């Protein structure tokens, strides 16, 4: 059993190497909430994946900051912890706010790994030492630019190309990509941009032989996705709709999807991510690890999670340099010419946080200490 000595919240700002456009908007600069735990002389980090605006889900960096500062961090500082797995209980009085909870819980897992002198991936129950990687390609200014971008990513070795799509940026790009590359592993992600009037059109994408169509309909829906899945051959993959293990069970039972995207932030932390992974594995549903434009801290955690056996499809976890001129960890995440990432075997997440760099990017900070709530 252990107790935390302090929790440091900070906001850093980082320019993306290139703007990232989805059906819900464009991101140029990330505002990232990082948490750092102190315990018996050890430091452990977590990253909150909530966006700058509540467009992907209800949370944003500002709601996450508020709920961490006022509710979650004080509870965690009072708790007697056994490890990452005990955070769910310590934080369960607070409803929702899963991305905020995940940042803290994941940092506690990282801390537990350090205390035990083990790699994080092993503590999570992973076995894979190398993970297959894909890329998520944002909406581009033109079809030509999209094709050039895909060419570059394929040359780098990535095993699966995911195209962000929306009404008006769908059939035409799928056709252009398939004409040029008939055989590559291809998928698309609509981030909830379509409605029931579009389902005949979506079902017609079967001709493009994609691995999956990710979250075409409402962000909170299972039922209408199951109606769509009944009409198409291509697997639907749910992202936004899956908040926990029960959602995964409901979606699988209803045949709302045949593939699951697991984002550790979206489901509230490693404990629930493992539960979703296991539920899917028991039912023969493959999963892959989603991404949220993470810095190296969240990226290292995604890599550890992706080492679990049922993460059998290439995920959206790719090299640091696709996002950042310079990452905040060392070594940076790199991808092999075969499109794989090596799972670090060192203690904890296996990467070092570059504290000097984090300091220079920090625009806001707040410290909470055990016993007293002190503002730094
Ligand atoms: O839906 O998977 C998504 C990024 C931000 C918000 C939602 C999504 C994404 C991505 C990018 O697709 C994945 C990545 O490269 O990190
Ligand atoms: Mg998605």
Backbone phi, psi, residue 347, to 5° = -70, 145
The predicted pLDDT at position 372 comes to: 62
**Do 287 and 308 have their domain in common?**
yes
Tell me the ligand closest to 56's alpha carbon.
Answer: 1
CB under 6 Å to ligand 1: residues?
Answer: 56, 136, 189, 191, 239, 290-293, 316
Closest ligand 1 atom to the C-alpha of 27? 5
**Do 66 and 191 have their domain in common?**
no
**Do 158 and 300 have their domain in common?**
yes
- Assigned domain for 113 exists: yes
**Do 258 and 147 have their domain in common?**
yes
Encode the chain (376 residues) as per-residue pLDDT tens digits: 999 999 999 999 999 999 999 999 999 999 999 999 999 999 999 999 999 999 999 999 999 999 999 999 999 999 999 999 999 999 999 999 999 999 999 999 999 999 999 999 999 999 999 999 999 999 999 999 999 999 999 999 999 999 999 999 999 999 999 999 999 999 999 999 999 999 999 999 999 999 999 999 999 999 999 999 999 999 999 999 999 999 999 999 999 999 999 999 999 999 999 999 999 999 999 999 999 999 999 999 999 999 999 999 999 999 999 999 999 999 999 999 999 999 999 999 999 999 999 999 999 999 999 986 545 4
Distance of alpha carbon 132 from alpha carbon 353, whole angstroms: 24
The closest residue, in CA terms, to atom 7 on ligand 1 is: 292
CB neighbours (10 Å) of residue 375? 9
The closest residue, in CA terms, to atom 5 on ligand 1 is: 292
Q: How far is CA 316 from the centre of its chain?
A: 8
Residue 134: half-sphere exposure toward Cβ, Cα within 13 Å = 24
8 A C-beta contact, residue 273 and residue 104 = no
Q: Residues 276, 31, 8, CA angle at the centre, nearest 5°?
A: 75
8 A C-beta contact, residue 198 and residue 214 = no
**Do 303 and 238 have their domain in common?**
yes
Pocket-testing residue among 134, 136, 149, 165, ligand 1, by greatest number of atoms within 8 A of Cβ: 136
Encoded tokens for 196 = 């029931």
CATH number of the domain encompassing residue 329: 3.20.20.120
Please choose, from the candidates 265, 375, 367, the residue with its C-alpha nearest in 3D space to the C-alpha of residue 38: 367
**Do 312 and 364 have their domain in common?**
no
- Taking the centre of ligand 2 as the mean of its atom positions, its distance from the CA of residue 55, in whole angstroms, is 12
- Assigned domain for 43 exists: yes
- Assigned domain for 95 exists: yes
The SS3 of residue 207 is helix
Q: Which residue has the tokens 């790699």?
A: 119
CB neighbours (10 Å) of residue 367? 16
Report pTM.
Answer: 0.96
CB neighbours (10 Å) of residue 376? 11
Distance of alpha carbon 146 from alpha carbon 173, whole angstroms: 8
**Do 277 and 232 have their domain in common?**
yes
Q: Could you list the active site residues?
A: 164, 263
The predicted pLDDT at position 36 comes to: 98
Domain range holding 63?
Answer: 6-117+353-374
- Assigned domain for 363 exists: yes
- Taking the centre of ligand 1 as the mean of its atom positions, its distance from the CA of residue 136, in whole angstroms, is 7
The SS3 of residue 249 is helix
Distance of alpha carbon 103 from alpha carbon 112, whole angstroms: 14
**Do 33 and 139 have their domain in common?**
no
**Do 53 and 133 have their domain in common?**
no
Q: Residues 359, 362, 366, CA angle at the centre, nearest 5°?
A: 100
**Do 179 and 323 have their domain in common?**
yes
Closest ligand 1 atom to the C-alpha of 191? 1
Backbone phi, psi, residue 162, to 5° = -110, 125
8 A C-beta contact, residue 166 and residue 23 = yes
Can you list the positions of beta strands (E) in 158-244? 160-164, 185-189, 212-214, 235-238
CB neighbours (10 Å) of residue 209? 15
Cis peptide, bond prior to residue 331, ω within 30 of zero: yes
**Do 88 and 144 have their domain in common?**
no
Closest ligand 1 atom to the C-alpha of 215? 1
Encoded tokens for 132 = 């297959």
The predicted pLDDT at position 371 comes to: 86
Ion ligand 2: protein residues whose beta carbon lies under 5 Å: 189, 214, 239
Burial, 359: exposed, middle or buried (Cβ in 10 Å; 0-12, 13-18, 19+)?
A: exposed
- Assigned domain for 175 exists: yes
The predicted pLDDT at position 139 comes to: 98
- Assigned domain for 60 exists: yes
- Assigned domain for 1 exists: no
CATH number of the domain encompassing residue 41: 3.30.390.10
Please choose, from the candidates 64, 111, 47, the residue with its C-alpha nearest in 3D space to the C-alpha of residue 84: 111
User: What is the bridge-based pairing of β-strands 25-39 and 42-48?
Assistant: antiparallel
- Between the CA of residue 330 and those of 68, 103, 299, 326, 354, what are the distances in Å? 27, 20, 12, 10, 7
Domains: count for the chain: 2
**Do 179 and 217 have their domain in common?**
yes
Distance of alpha carbon 4 from alpha carbon 344, whole angstroms: 26
């Amino acid at each position: 059993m252990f107790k935390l000595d302090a929790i440091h919240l900070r906001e850093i700002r980082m320019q993306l190497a290139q703007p990232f456009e989805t059906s819900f908007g464009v991101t140029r600069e990330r505002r990232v909430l990082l948490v750092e735990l102190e315990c018996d002389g050890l430091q452990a980090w977590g990253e909150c994946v909530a966006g700058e605006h509540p467009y992907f889900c209800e949370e944003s960096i500002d709601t996450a900051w508020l709920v961490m500062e006022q509710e979650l961090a004080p509870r965690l500082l009072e708790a007697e912890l056994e490890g990452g797995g005990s955070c769910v209980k310590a934080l369960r009085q607070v409803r929702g706010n899963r991305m905020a909870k995940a940042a803290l819980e994941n940092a506690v897992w990282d801390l537990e790994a350090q205390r035990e002198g083990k790699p994080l991936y092993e503590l999570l129950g992973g076995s894979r030492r190398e993970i297959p990687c894909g890329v998520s390609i944002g909406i581009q200014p033109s079809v030509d630019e999209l094709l050039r971008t895909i060419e570059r990513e394929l040359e780098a070795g990535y095993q699966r190309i995911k195209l962000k799509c929306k009404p008006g940026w769908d059939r035409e790009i799928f056709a252009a990509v398939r004409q040029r590359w008939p055989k590559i592993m291809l998928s698309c992600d609509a981030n909830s941009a379509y409605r029931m009037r579009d389902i005949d059109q979506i079902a017609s994408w079967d001709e493009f032989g994609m691995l999956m169509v990710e979250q075409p309909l409402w962000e909170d829906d299972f039922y209408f996705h199951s109606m769509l899945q009944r009409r198409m051959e291509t697997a639907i993959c749910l992202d936004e709709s899956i908040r926990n293990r029960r959602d995964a069970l409901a979606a699988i039972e209803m045949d709302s999807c045949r593939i699951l995207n697991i984002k550790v932030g979206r489901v509230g932390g490693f404990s629930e991510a493992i539960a979703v992974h296991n539920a899917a594995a028991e039912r023969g549903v493959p999963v892959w690890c989603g991404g949220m434009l993470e810095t190296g801290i969240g990226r290292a955690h995604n890599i550890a999670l992706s080492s679990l056996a049922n993460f059998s499809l290439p995920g959206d976890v790719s090299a640091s340099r696709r996002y950042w001129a310079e990452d905040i960890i060392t070594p940076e995440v790199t991808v092999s010419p075969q499109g794989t990432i090596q799972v670090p075997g060192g203690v904890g997440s296996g990467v070092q946080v570059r504290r000097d760099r984090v300091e220079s990017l920090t625009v806001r900070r707040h410290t909470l200490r055990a016993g007293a709530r002190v503002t730094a």
